[in-house]
Protein backbone atom coordinates (compact mmCIF):
# COMPACT_ATOMS: atom_id res chain seq x y z
CA UNK A 1 0.00 0.00 0.00
CA UNK A 2 0.86 3.65 -0.14
CA UNK A 3 3.08 5.34 2.42
CA UNK A 4 3.27 9.13 2.59
CA UNK A 5 5.99 11.03 4.41
CA UNK A 6 5.70 14.77 5.03
CA UNK A 7 8.30 17.32 6.15
CA UNK A 8 8.69 19.50 8.09
CA UNK A 9 6.26 18.90 10.93
CA UNK A 10 6.35 22.58 11.89
CA UNK A 11 7.29 25.62 9.87
CA UNK A 12 7.46 29.21 11.00
CA UNK A 13 7.93 32.05 8.53
CA UNK A 14 7.67 35.82 8.48
CA UNK A 15 4.78 37.38 6.66
CA UNK A 16 5.70 37.86 3.03
CA UNK A 17 8.22 35.02 2.95
CA UNK A 18 7.72 31.78 1.06
CA UNK A 19 6.92 28.42 2.61
CA UNK A 20 7.70 25.01 1.17
CA UNK A 21 6.34 21.69 2.40
CA UNK A 22 7.55 18.41 0.94
CA UNK A 23 6.05 14.95 0.70
CA UNK A 24 7.26 11.63 -0.60
CA UNK A 25 5.18 8.65 -1.58
CA UNK A 26 5.96 5.00 -2.11
CA UNK A 27 3.56 3.67 -4.74
CA UNK A 28 4.81 4.50 -8.23
CA UNK A 29 1.30 3.88 -9.56
CA UNK A 30 -0.15 6.79 -7.60
CA UNK A 31 -1.65 9.35 -9.94
CA UNK A 32 -3.26 12.02 -7.79
CA UNK A 33 -1.76 14.26 -5.12
CA UNK A 34 -3.94 16.73 -3.23
CA UNK A 35 -2.99 19.23 -0.58
CA UNK A 36 -5.41 20.09 2.21
CA UNK A 37 -5.49 22.95 4.67
CA UNK A 38 -7.05 22.33 8.05
CA UNK A 39 -7.79 24.98 10.61
CA UNK A 40 -8.23 23.96 14.23
CA UNK A 41 -11.38 21.90 14.77
CA UNK A 42 -12.52 22.25 11.18
CA UNK A 43 -12.73 20.02 8.17
CA UNK A 44 -9.82 19.77 5.73
CA UNK A 45 -10.22 21.96 2.69
CA UNK A 46 -8.62 21.17 -0.65
CA UNK A 47 -6.31 23.99 -1.69
CA UNK A 48 -4.63 22.50 -4.74
CA UNK A 49 -4.11 19.13 -6.37
CA UNK A 50 -2.04 17.69 -9.16
CA UNK A 51 -2.29 14.64 -11.33
CA UNK A 52 0.64 12.56 -12.44
CA UNK A 53 0.49 13.73 -16.04
CA UNK A 54 1.78 17.22 -15.16
CA UNK A 55 4.83 18.43 -13.30
CA UNK A 56 3.57 21.69 -11.88
CA UNK A 57 0.33 23.48 -11.15
CA UNK A 58 -0.16 26.99 -9.88
CA UNK A 59 -3.09 28.87 -8.40
CA UNK A 60 -2.26 32.44 -7.41
CA UNK A 61 0.10 32.25 -4.43
CA UNK A 62 -0.02 28.46 -4.22
CA UNK A 63 1.82 25.99 -6.41
CA UNK A 64 2.48 22.27 -6.35
CA UNK A 65 5.34 20.50 -8.08
CA UNK A 66 5.60 16.80 -8.78
CA UNK A 67 8.65 14.69 -9.47
CA UNK A 68 7.42 11.25 -10.48
CA UNK A 69 10.90 9.80 -10.82
CA UNK A 70 11.84 10.71 -7.28
CA UNK A 71 8.28 10.15 -6.04
CA UNK A 72 7.96 13.42 -4.26
CA UNK A 73 5.74 16.47 -4.50
CA UNK A 74 5.90 19.84 -2.83
CA UNK A 75 3.60 22.68 -1.84
CA UNK A 76 4.88 26.20 -2.36
CA UNK A 77 3.17 29.21 -0.80
CA UNK A 78 4.53 32.61 -1.78
CA UNK A 79 3.93 35.97 -0.11
CA UNK A 80 2.61 34.25 3.00
CA UNK A 81 -0.04 35.96 5.08
CA UNK A 82 -1.13 35.37 8.70
CA UNK A 83 -4.32 33.73 7.46
CA UNK A 84 -2.20 31.04 5.83
CA UNK A 85 -1.43 29.77 9.35
CA UNK A 86 -2.93 26.28 9.62
CA UNK A 87 -2.02 22.63 9.37
CA UNK A 88 -1.34 21.43 5.84
CA UNK A 89 -1.66 17.81 4.78
CA UNK A 90 -0.49 16.12 1.63
CA UNK A 91 -2.15 12.92 0.48
CA UNK A 92 -1.91 10.14 -2.06
CA UNK A 93 -4.33 7.40 -3.08
CA UNK A 94 -4.30 4.28 -0.93
CA UNK A 95 -4.62 2.01 -3.91
CA UNK A 96 -2.37 4.04 -6.18
CA UNK A 97 -4.90 4.74 -8.86
CA UNK A 98 -7.28 7.46 -7.75
CA UNK A 99 -10.76 7.86 -9.07
CA UNK A 100 -14.31 7.71 -7.83
CA UNK A 101 -14.75 4.68 -5.65
CA UNK A 102 -11.02 4.56 -5.10
CA UNK A 103 -11.01 7.93 -3.42
CA UNK A 104 -9.51 6.70 -0.18
CA UNK A 105 -6.57 8.89 0.60
CA UNK A 106 -3.54 8.31 2.77
CA UNK A 107 -2.44 11.50 4.47
CA UNK A 108 0.95 12.73 5.53
CA UNK A 109 1.41 13.60 9.18
CA UNK A 110 0.84 17.27 8.57
CA UNK A 111 2.81 20.50 8.77
CA UNK A 112 1.83 23.22 11.17
CA UNK A 113 2.55 26.48 9.40
CA UNK A 114 2.81 29.64 11.44
CA UNK A 115 3.06 32.98 9.64
CA UNK A 116 4.25 35.76 11.90
CA UNK A 117 3.10 39.29 11.14
Cβ 99 to another protein shortest distance, Å: 6
User: Of the two residues 37 and 115, which places its CB atom closer to another protein in the complex?
Assistant: 37
Residues 38 and 97: their CA atoms lie apart, in Å, by 24
Pairing of strands 4-7, 19-25: antiparallel
Cβ 102 to another protein shortest distance, Å: 8
The residues pairing with 94 across neighbouring beta strands, listed in sequence order, are: none
User: Of the two residues 77 and 93, which places its CB atom closer to another protein in the complex?
Assistant: 93
Which spans of this chain sit near another protein (rule: CB under 8 A)? 32, 34, 41-46, 49, 89, 94, 98-101, 103-110
Our measurement of the distance from residue 83's CA atom to the centroid of its chain's CA atoms, rounded to an integer in Å, reads: 17
Eight-state DSSP code of residue 28? T
Q: Which candidate, 85, 61, 77, 71, places its Cα nearest to that of 23?
A: 71
Cβ 103 to another protein shortest distance, Å: 4
How many CB atoms lie under 10 A from the CB of residue 58?
12
User: Of the two residues 89 and 115, which places its CB atom closer to another protein in the complex?
Assistant: 89
Cβ 57 to another protein shortest distance, Å: 12
User: Of the two residues 39 and 79, which places its CB atom closer to another protein in the complex?
Assistant: 39
Amino acid sequence: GENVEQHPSTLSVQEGDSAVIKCTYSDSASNYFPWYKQELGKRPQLIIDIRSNVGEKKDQRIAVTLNKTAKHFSLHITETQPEDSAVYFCAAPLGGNYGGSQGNLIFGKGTKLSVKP
